[in-house]
């Protein structure tokens, strides 16, 4: 009878371990769903929406300044936004003159890594 009791106790401990593991996994997945409602992510999304709303007015301002040869400012901004949203966000926060200088570098054939570095340098040194 003592061995039967010991075996039952051992089985109960194993079941308890599996139950604890299952609860831990459920807790982990619930935390992942809560992470989707993170205030930080919401703030980033709202900033991106602000950038998108100001983009239309900025494009209207710069439409008259574009040259006909080479890549257009609009194409540059759309490409930057599509491929590097973070750099685009900082780019849009730059003063107009700094944005023009970045675009001139782009037209001059600078690599995208150089363009992104210039955007960050300009943004940090405002």
How does pLDDT run across 61-111, given as a tens digit for each residue?
555 554 456 678 899 999 999 999 999 999 999 999 999 999 999 998 888
Inform me whether the pLDDT recorded for 116 exceeds 80.
Answer: yes
Percent of the chain with pLDDT over 70: 61
Euclidean distance between CA atoms 65 and 62, whole angstroms: 5
pLDDT grade, residue 35 (50/70/90)?
Answer: low
Would you say the C-alpha torsion 16, 20, 22, 23 has a positive or negative sign?
A: positive
């Amino acid at each position: 009878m003592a061995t039967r009791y010991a075996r039952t106790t051992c089985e109960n401990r194993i079941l308890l371990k599996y139950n604890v593991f299952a609860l831990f996994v459920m807790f982990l997945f619930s935390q992942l769903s809560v992470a989707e409602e993170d205030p930080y992510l919401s703030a980033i999304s709202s900033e991106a929406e602000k950038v998108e709303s100001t983009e239309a007015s900025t494009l209207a301002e710069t439409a008259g300044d574009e040259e006909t040869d080479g890549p257009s400012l609009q194409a540059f901004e759309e490409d930057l936004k599509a491929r590097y949203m973070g750099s685009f966000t900082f780019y849009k926060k730059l003063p107009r003159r700094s944005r023009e200088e970045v675009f001139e570098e782009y037209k001059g054939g600078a690599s995208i890594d150089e363009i992104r570095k210039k955007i960050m340098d300009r943004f940090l040194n405002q």
